[in-house]
Copies of this chain bind each other. A is one copy, B any other.
Amino acid sequence: MAGPQVLLVAGTHGNEVNGPWLIEQWSKTPNLINNYGVRFASTIGNPLAFEAGVRYLDRDLNRSFRAEFLRSTDSSDRELMRARKLLDLYGPLGRNACKIAIDIHSTTASMGSCLVIYGRRSSDLALAALVQKLIGLPVYLHEEDEAQKGFLVESWPCGLVIEVGPVAQSVLQFEIVEKTRLALEACFECIASISEGSTIYPRGLIIHRHIASFDFPRDLRGNIVGLIHPLIEGKDWQPIKAGVPLFVGADGDGICVEHDECLIPVFINEAAYAEKNIAMSLTKREFWPFDVSWKNSLEGLFT
């Protein structure tokens, strides 16, 4: 099967600098990343924000791919303009059309390397399952969150986020670059295997399904009055027992928040999420048996 062109996006958030640096070095050293023969286009997601060294200028680009935003002709919002331009250029019907999008991010949370997918799209589940089988990355399924919508990859028929942390905003770190490189190569290898007809799909996918996000404790004026508890800080992917305090006051006293037993935190203390009222998200770890419809959706993009 002929494979679809893959879009690589780095710097969707302008202060997540490791992905853009990797792609830039790759352009000068072609054998830095093995693309396994997969056709791809690459771009800086938000070049103006990247230049300014900030996450975004007017609005988070990775919350801007909502149908109502993309339909509008508002030209005062630089991220909405950029979202429309990315689709014009690289969207599934764009001038340089791509059918799979891989969006490279970093986080201040101790997430290690992982994949993030949105909703339960069969094509995403199939590709995530292949990558997980190859190199074992955990997968965070973000869904049913009215407050957070309009992610970039949702505008392509198949799309994954590669998320690597912890790293401070605006800091280049070799280990983060290396982990990003390895995750990206794994994506290429899996996509190539489909073109070659050599894919062996796994029996299923271990997923961390989004349950809820928790904000920091705040006072009536909205000021943060409690921080991540030191026993939780940096413990992304590690189950939390019920009754364990998630937060701590300045005086060291634990602050409990009611939650179910053995939920698994992700994006603990991501710098950019405090403004979104998210101190951490809790997920439920589940095994989802592989469904043949996933394979059909993904392979439907290979014609």
A170–B233 touching, CB < 8 Å: no
Q: How far is the CB of A70 from chain B (nearest CB, A)?
A: 28
A173–B22 touching, CB < 8 Å: no
B174–A230 touching, CB < 8 Å: yes
With both beta carbons as reference points, the residue of chain B lying nearest to A33 in the complex is identified as: B250
Q: Which residues of B contact A173 (CB under 8 A)?
A: 227-228, 233, 269
Q: Chain A interface residue count: which class?
A: 35 or more
Q: How far is the CB of A119 from chain B (nearest CB, A)?
A: 29
B108–A168 touching, CB < 8 Å: yes
A63 sits at the interface (CB 8 A) = no
Q: How far is the CB of A125 from chain B (nearest CB, A)?
A: 32
B108–A251 touching, CB < 8 Å: no
Pick from B26, B29, B32, B271: contact of A169, CB below 8 A. B271
Q: Which residues of B contact A228 (CB under 8 A)?
A: 172-174
Chain copies in complex: 2
A104 sits at the interface (CB 8 A) = no
Q: How far is the CB of A283 from chain B (nearest CB, A)?
A: 21
A266 sits at the interface (CB 8 A) = no
A169–B172 touching, CB < 8 Å: no
A294 sits at the interface (CB 8 A) = no
A window 8-29: CB within 8 A of B? 21-22, 24-26, 29
B25–A233 touching, CB < 8 Å: no
Q: How far is the CB of A235 from chain B (nearest CB, A)?
A: 13
Q: How far is the CB of A9 from chain B (nearest CB, A)?
A: 19
B22–A227 touching, CB < 8 Å: no
Q: How far is the CB of A288 from chain B (nearest CB, A)?
A: 33
